[in-house]
Structure 1
Amino acid sequence: MDYLLSFTDVFGESGLLALGGLVIGIIFGFAAQRSRFCLRSAAVEFSRAEFGAKLAIWLLAFSTGVILTQLLFGFEILAASEIRQLTLQGSLSGSIIGGAMFGAGMVLARGCSSRMLVLAGQGNLRAVLNGLVFAVTAQASLRGILHPVRDELAGLWVVSGERLDILGNLGMDHVAGILIGLVWLASGIFFALRSGVGLKGWLGGIGVGVAVGLAWAWTGMLNGQVFIPVKIESLTFTGPSANTLMLFLSPPTGIWRFDVALVPGVVIGSFLASAWARELRLEGFSGGPSMTRYLLGAALMGFGGMLAGGCAVGSLTNASVFALTGWLALLSIFLSAVATDHYLDRQLERHARPDVGEAGTPIPAS
């Protein structure tokens, strides 16, 4: 891997790390825009027993990310002892409570934090404002006025690092992780074939998973190869959104990091995909009530994502290394989104359309 060091003469060490974040962000943004990758949409399909293309695309992305990440352990590019999600103490209460808040928030906001970045790249002004509220709330939760509340909730149930490695505690290794990923991949393929997912859905869903693996590989390879400290990480958008916000609000330091470059990369990738598909268009809010709903959802995601240790994509990333906190957060996000859709959105739809029944069929007039 010494060949990587030759590029530091051109970009510098921090610049090289950030360049990887930018490129991987572009790949993610392009793939997510073309495939309409979105955990919220997948959860809504599950809630309504539709099991369609959105769920299939999410499963393709998730399984690809798991398989590639576990292969990196097999090739010794990653080591469990160097992954903070598997070594530092973790908050199970944060994963559960924060995940539930994030899941409810993404249903209210009509998309998770990564989806907001993708929509912003398409010209969606609602997503831009939502993203700003999300980033401000995340920053307030990280270092600001909401920090004590986050610490209090996170401290309710904390476990040591050695208890977070699911595979290690079960006496398994990366081979078992790959097999589990293949099971998820098989389910994704089944639902994709069943729902008639098109080529862009297949490629985009798999592309999102590839971006997760590439991020782990990039930071894993640079760790120990450069003099600056490199945090081994992959895709997540809660902390990076807060850090990107502070980049514009704080005096410039001249130091770019992987996570800070990742966020604009996603927007650029989405913009390129939208321009290529001729889907660029300006969109805004449809009215006051919808604006309140979206902004509340963005705030819930900002606090919940920081408490849970990651957004919807961040939890997918953490789950790909089989961190207990990642799987708990992902499950909590999904179940909360399903419950919010079932008990809120579907009820609102029934009130708005009283002639529609439980299964979406017209109710006979009495």
Structure 2
Amino acid sequence: MTAELLSLQHLVLFLAFLASLAFGAVVQATGFCTMGAVADAVTLRDFTRGRQWALAAATAMLGFAALAFLGILTAPQTLYASTRWLWLSALAGGAVFGFGMVLSSGCVSKTLVRAGAGNLKSLVVSVVTGIAAFATLRGITAVLRVATVDRVAVETGGNTDLATLLARGSGMSLAVAALVAGGVLGLALLAWSLAAKESRRPLNLLAGLGVGGSVLAMWWITGHVGHLAEHPQTLEEAWIATSSTRAEGLSFVAPTGYALDWLLYFSDANKRLTVGIVSVVGVLAGSALVALARGRFRWEGFAGTGDLGHHLAGAVLMGVGGVTALGCSIGQGVTGLSTLSLGSLAATLAMVAGAVAGVRYQAWRIERDA
């Protein structure tokens, strides 16, 4: 690799670390949590944290629409690009992930945030999730995934995102279609997220804008800073320092698996740092900094074997489900949604449904034990 390419790679990795550091700090400071949002809505009919998520998704969606309109980055250039709509994988994986994140007391990003603040339960969950994720990427559950749900798909003849479909059906340019589709859906989410007075409190605004802004920052870093119209070695379009060799946003299931793989095979010259791996480290660091500054860093372990069993089961479900669905509640529920991917829409709805089932299961278990 030339000195210029190496310098660009280091810049992309450093900026990705800063974006994920900000994400971890914001989530630790505000309590942003997708699983908590679902639990609050189901048990308390409180949508405050749900509106935080909607604000994050709206911020990322409107920002991505602007990037597409300006010609900086479009959905077909991202990790979520595909001409096959894997709807069954999105639904099955999303539901499994959603149920698992309830058993694990939070999604993968929240688990990393808690681990950064000294929660040893979350550290164990993160490691097991990473192992299950890597097995579903390349191991035994990958074989099962490819042989079952991934076989079911709808061929669309073009990229499976709403902007591309709108452009094909209306004759608009992709840039204009992305602005229209992203603008309409993003503004609708924005309006709902800010409709309640409680959601306009500084803490809730910081949660939504901070998470959404971090996702958007990662799109700009990988899609613009790390973009090469023509790689000097391959003479093809390239996105530097990403696992997929395409533009990537914030996501945490597969990157946790890749981070473990990088650590285990550190001396292997073929293993290289990617934005996903440094994002895992950045979230841990951002959370730790805020926790230490606020005096909230404390060690915490499992309450007993039952607690351990549920968290381990949830970790496995998140690893398998997250890879099958192509992302977690952030990777699909914010990052993927910002591209208007049909797979992301299906996966997000399935994650919510799975989480609702998980919350009801937990409530049933508590009543049974009582």
Q: TM-score, normalised by structure 2?
A: 0.87
Q: Which moved more, 1:201-210 or 1:164-173?
A: 164-173
| TM-score, scaled relative to structure 1 | 0.88
Deviation at 1:140, TM superposition (A): 0.8
Mapped partners of 1:145, 1:266: distance in 2: 29
Name the residue aligned to 2:132. 137
Query: In 1, distance between residues paired with 2:6 and 2:202?
Result: 36
Distance 1:200 1:16 in 2: 31
How far is 1:134 from its partner?
Answer: 0.1
- Corresponding residue for residue 33 of structure 2: 38
Q: Which residue of 1 aligns with 2:163?
A: 167
Q: Which runs of 5+ in 2 are unaligned?
A: 171-176, 240-245
Matched residue, 2:99: 104
CA distance in 2, matches of 1:136, 1:84: 21
Specify every segment of 5 or more residues in structure 1 that has no aligned partner in the other structure, as ranges: 1-7, 354-366
Q: Does residue 258 of the first structure (1) align with residue 275 of the second (2)?
A: yes
What is the one-letter code of the residue matched to 2:307? Answer: S
Q: Which moved more, 1:246-255 or 1:63-72?
A: 246-255
Match of 2:337 among 304, 309, 319: 319
Instruction: State which drifts further: 220-229 or 146-155.
Output: 220-229
Note if 1:291 corresponds to 2:291.
no
Deviation at 1:29, TM superposition (A): 0.5
| Partner residue of 2:84 out of 86, 89, 98 | 89
Map of 1:143-222 to 2, 5 A cutoff?
A: 143-160=138-155, 162=158, 164-170=160-166, 171=170, 172-191=177-196, 193-194=197-198, 198-221=201-224, 222=226
Distance 1:35 1:90 in 2: 35
Q: What's the CA shift string for 1:237-264, capped at 9, x where partnerless?
A: 1111111000111134373221111110
CA RMSD of aligned residues (A): 2.0
CA distance in 1, matches of 2:89, 2:117: 33
1:56 paired with 2:51, answer yes
Equivalence for 2:264: 249
Counterpart residue type for residue 301 of structure 1: M
Alignment-mate amino acid for residue 340 of structure 1:
G
Q: Distance in 2 between matches of 1:88 and 1:140?
A: 25
Report which stretch shifted further, 166-175 or 260-269: 166-175
Q: Aligned residue for 2:173?
A: none
Q: Distance in 2 between matches of 1:139 and 1:282?
A: 27
Range with bigger deviation, 319-328 or 88-97: 88-97
Q: Which moved more, 1:258-267 or 1:344-353?
A: 344-353
Q: Does 1:309 align with 2:326?
A: yes
- CA distance 1:10–1:27, change in 2 (3 Å): farther
User: What residue identity is the alignment partner of 2:293?
Assistant: W
- Quote the Cα distance in structure 1 between the aligned partners of 2:13 and 2:155: 31
Runs of 4+ in 1 over 6 A off after TM superposition: none
How far, CA to CA, are the matches of 2:195 and 2:105 in structure 1?
26
Deviation, structure 1 residue 85? 1.9
1:34–1:273 CA contact under 8 A, matched in 2: yes
Match of 1:24 among 16, 19, 22: 19
- State the alpha-carbon separation in 2 of the partners of residues 293 and 283 from structure 1: 16
Stretch moving more, 47-56 or 127-136: 47-56
Deviations 1:59-110 (A, max 9, x none): 2212111111111112211123423423443421110100010000001111
